[in-house]
């Protein structure tokens, strides 16, 4: 599902116009991004949480050349799904491994 799919589904469920839903979704995503950029976490009970995590510098490899490279420290966003989603995922029938 991408953002367009989400907007379409929410518009169908709520009866709002796609334009209204798209504006709401974009506003929510902008607010989440702004909070993360400020280093703040975000928790939505029943869904999950986002937080900023510091990654240390490390030695990596260029996959094309095999050359050893230095990767600088950076901040990354970490998502942890909530208990309800975890339980729902447990019920998925994944079928045999490929």
CATH of the domain at 73: 4.10.520.10
98 found inside a domain = no
Judged against a pLDDT cut of 70, whether residue 98 lies above it is answered with: no
Number of Cβ within 10 Å of residue 47's Cβ equals: 13
pTM score of the predicted model: 0.74
| Count of domains forming the chain | 2
The reply to whether 15 and 56 lie within a common domain is: no
The pLDDT tens digits for 45-92 are 989 999 999 999 999 999 999 999 999 999 999 999 999 998 888 888
Using CA atoms, how far apart are residues 51 and 80, in angstroms rounded to an integer?
9
- In a shared domain, residues 20 and 57: no
E strands along 1-98, which residues?
42-44, 48-55, 58-61, 68-71, 74-81
The boundaries of the domain holding residue 72 are 43-92
Instruction: Report residue 95's pLDDT band, with 50, 70 and 90 as the boundaries.
Output: low
């Amino acid at each position: 599902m991408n953002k367009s799919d989400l907007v379409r589904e929410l518009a169908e469920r709520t009866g709002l116009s796609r334009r209204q839903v798209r504006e709401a979704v974009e506003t929510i995503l902008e607010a989440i991004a702004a909070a993360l950029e400020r280093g703040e976490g975000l928790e939505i009970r029943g869904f999950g949480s986002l937080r900023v995590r510091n990654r240390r510098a490390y030695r990596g490899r260029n996959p094309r050349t095999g050359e050893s490279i230095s990767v600088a420290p950076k901040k990354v966003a970490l998502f942890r799904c909530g208990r309800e989603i975890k339980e729902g995922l447990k019920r998925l029938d994944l079928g045999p491994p490929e």
